[in-house]
Structure 1
Amino acid sequence: MEFSTRPAILADAPAIHQLIAAAEQALHGQVEAVPDAVAADLRRPLIQLDLDTRVAEAPNGDLAGWAWVHGGRHAKIDVHPSYAGRGLGTQLLDWAEARAYEIGTDWLAQIVDDADQAGTELVRSRGYEVLATNWLLERPLSPEPPAVPTGIRLDGYDPARAHDVHQLIEQAFSAFQPRAKSFDEWAELTVGRSTFLPDVSTLAYAGDELVGAVIALDGEEGYVEQLAVRDDQRNKGIARAMLDRTCTEFLTRGRRTCILWTHSGTGALAMYERLGMRVRRSTTVYRTQL
């Protein structure tokens, strides 16, 4: 089958989300992707849609697959289950590698779902090696009030503290993310999204000082996009209290589970397990030299 390709446009975001949802349903029996995630990604400042994205269309007009390269070093490729096994993944991987090489980077990484045997075999056959592991964690929700540490106050998201929240999160993540995000980029990916839930999100204060934050999004399940505690306030129970409050708020909105992603570079898996979360599934980050 011949597939035609072209750059993605913002109007493709709903169809790309449906493609990703179909892949998740086929691999795991449920949809976990937040509906506006693709639109947020396509608006990232380092993405030039005409150069850094491709969508593949089947002869009947179906969106069969898509790929993007972010910052020259990170690729994402998804193929609709209806069009798996027809060489489309290989075609899109060829494009991603060529685009990264064109930008001038010396390596390329991409995430492959561990349940995607064909995708894993493809990158392995091309010499990709394991760089990191991501885990999707879940927590069944129950109406238990948070145990708030002495001297700590919890509240919903306050837009007047937006820059403080951005600074706290960026500092907390600085050790393992490749670059710092500007306020505008961070906001586009978090509090500026249509699925952002300010009342479900949680901020923690010690006096008037912001010491922790949870950014919550709405989807098929309650979704925690980010959780951070200021360095000097860790190991005091603040993370648990914030997560408990956010999970209680999710429950009042009819959600039955809360989910979030973490990866091996953060060293946070054990902490989340202590907070009552468990691994649902995993993905692997593979990297190759160009």
Structure 2
Amino acid sequence: MRNVGRAEWTKLRTDASNGWLLLGAVALTLAIGAAVAMTSRCDAVACGEDATRLSLTGVMVGQVVVAIVAVLMVGNEYSTGMMQTTVAAVPRRLTVLLSKAAVLSAVILVVGAVGVFGSLLIGGMVTPGRGFTEAHGYEAMSLANSTTLRAAVGSVLYLVLIGLLSLGLALIVRSSATAIGIVLGLLFFFPILTQVITDPDWQRLLQQIAPMTAGLSIQTTIGVDRLPIGPWEGLGVVALWATGALTVGGAVLRARDV
């Protein structure tokens, strides 16, 4: 397993495009989070804005880049025929799946942590000047605050789960373009559909099962009781999506001739 993991890491890091994509994920997460923090304002007590969530807005864009890296990890092997070499060298295909998942998770953990904690650092410096002060009912943004820490750790885990979901879908369809289209559809179609449907019960249900809507509830630090699903429960929904995709992807990998 260790040798297979080392091989997967070598394949991932020697593809220059992956490095640029991961760097882009961090840059976009930081830049968008900073831009939103710098343009938001709280001019009155209990203005209703969530400073922590605003600072983490970039995660919504960073997840797209993470999904692309995860898909290409499998899609490139199928498009180049490298997957045949991989399974020939490692006949136990479950080992291949677990190694890819482990390496991908480790890389996204590092990249996600840099983007998320960097965004909170910037937000902590910027938001007090935008009215998010104790006078308006806001504590200083700090990881010593349990809700801020939950939002930070949960956001990193969310990115990892989106990566694993994307990896599983890529194994199922064996096409980078198709897998990316499906992932983006899952992430952004549900929120759009929620805006179209007018029935509040159906809206709430869609928000509870949508990977992005449910998962990003982990970032909420105020008004948690008004969420359609709790922060950790929402992250659990994304975990179920990722587990389902990896389970089916693993079964397809074992059943198909490469």
With the length of structure 2 as denominator, give the TM-score of the two structures.
0.27
With the length of structure 1 as denominator, give the TM-score of the two structures.
0.25
Larger strand proportion of the pair: 1
Larger helix proportion of the pair: 2
